[in-house]
Structure formats: C-alpha cells, structure tokens
C-alpha cells in the first residue's frame, strides 16, 4: 500500500474517522528533509500495510489542516489513533528510527 494523498477536504474521513492508525506526514515540495524521508515513508507504508495508513498532506496545497494541528516546521509527522494525535515527530529521521516510532505508537509491528 503506497502513501495516500490527503487534503483539507478529505482529512476528516481519511484520518480522523480511520479504523486503523494513520501516520500523517505534513510536507512541502520545496522541503529538502521532506524529500529525504519520502522513500522511507513509502517503504513503511508497505511494511505496515493493513495496520497503519501513511498519509501525506502538502502544507502549501492544503494549509487549513496543518494550522489546525499547530504544525510549525516540516517535516512534521503525527500518528492519529481513534481520531486523536498520539505522537508527533518534527524533522527527518532514518527509516529504522521511523519504523520503531511507528511500531511503538500504533501497538503494531511491521509485517513479516
């Protein structure tokens, strides 16, 4: 399962009302560190398929949602469970650290 593009209009249905945890990546096209972690997020979306959805919100195209969640720097990643933010990370990190963070905050582990 690849990452999912989420907009201000679809955020409620795609993230808040999701039955499984959602990692939301707030990013922008011009952000170097955002591009740096992009491939790792794609891999994580595959490894956690069915357990966690990895969603991307472009802050330039959809500024309302980042404002609502007080996103001040990018990349900012938030994990939502049951419609609530349960964890937040700001800045790029390695795929290993990212996968550990996702597993710790979603009660799941990567698929074998």
Choose, from 6, 22, 24, 34, the residue flagged as catalytic: 34
Catalytic residue at 31?
yes
Out of 23, 31, 40, 52, the active site residue is 31
How many CB atoms sit inside 10 A of residue 96's CB?
A: 9
- What is d(CA 21, CA 51) in angstroms, rounded to the nearest whole number? 7
**Nearest-angstrom CA–CA distance, 87 and 98:** 12
Distance in Å from the first CA to the final CA of the chain:
15
Angle between helices 32-47 and 95-106 (to 10 degrees): 50
Neighbours of 79 (CB within 10 A): 20
Residues with a known catalytic role: 31, 34
């Amino acid at each position: 399962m690849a990452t999912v593009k989420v907009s201000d209009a679809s955020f409620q249905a795609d993230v808040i009302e999701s039955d499984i945890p959602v990692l939301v990546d707030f990013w922008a096209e011009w952000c170097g560190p955002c591009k740096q972690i992009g491939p790792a997020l794609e891999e994580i979306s595959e490894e956690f398929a069915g357990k966690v959805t990895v969603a991307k919100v472009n802050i330039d195209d959809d500024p309302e949602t980042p404002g609502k969640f007080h996103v001040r720097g990018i990349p900012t990643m938030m994990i939502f469970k049951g419609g609530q933010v349960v964890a937040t990370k700001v800045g790029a990190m390695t795929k290993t650290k990212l996968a550990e963070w996702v597993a710790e905050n979603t009660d799941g582990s990567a698929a074998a």
